[in-house]
Structures are given as structure tokens and as C-alpha cells.
Amino acid sequence: MVGFMASRTGRWTRMLAGAALVVGGLSSGSGKGKLLSLVGLVPLLAGAFDVCLFGPFFGLPVKGEAIRRKVGLIGEDSLLPHPPMAHTERPTLLH
């Protein structure tokens, strides 16, 4: 479960769920809605800053990069997937 939450897909899921809670809470206009939007900031910011608050409960670190290293998810550090560029396609300052 924590491995998924630290993966690229898990981070996006947390950020989108958090954003939905923030928007839904603010759009309600009530005090409970504002509280809900504050609660929604937790998964939104945790996904954006690559931390997993449940990691220590499973004997894993808090930082997403360290969790991915421990569970073997290599190459999912960035939020947007990008294929490696060939050496001939890499931008240089000379062109």
C-alpha cells in the first residue's frame, strides 16, 4: 500500500483527491466545508512534496524517494513520466 502511495500514480491520486476535497470544501461555504478543505491540503501537499505520512506505520521512511528505493520502484521520481533522451537529441548551448 505504501509502495503504491509513493509511486507516481499514487502521488497523483493523493493530489487529485486532496484537490477535490479542497475545492468541494470551499465551494460548500460552511465551516465544516472549510475544515474539509484544510484536511484536503494534507494529501495534496504530501503528494506534491513527495512525502508519505503512513510510511513510519509500516516501518518505512517518510520521504517518497527513500520508500521507492526500498520497495524497488526505480525511475518514478518525477510526477510526469519522460522517456530518456538520446544523446543526439539532448539540447546543448552550442546550437
Q: What local confidence, expressed as pLDDT, does residue 93 receive?
A: 67
Q: What local confidence, expressed as pLDDT, does residue 86 receive?
A: 60
Whole-angstrom CA distances from 33 to 21, 41, 44, 57, 73 are: 9, 13, 16, 29, 36
23-78 pLDDT, tens digit per residue, is 999 999 899 999 999 999 999 999 999 898 888 998 888 988 888 888 887 766 77
The answer, as to whether pTM is greater than 0.85, is: no
Q: What local confidence, expressed as pLDDT, does residue 87 receive?
A: 58
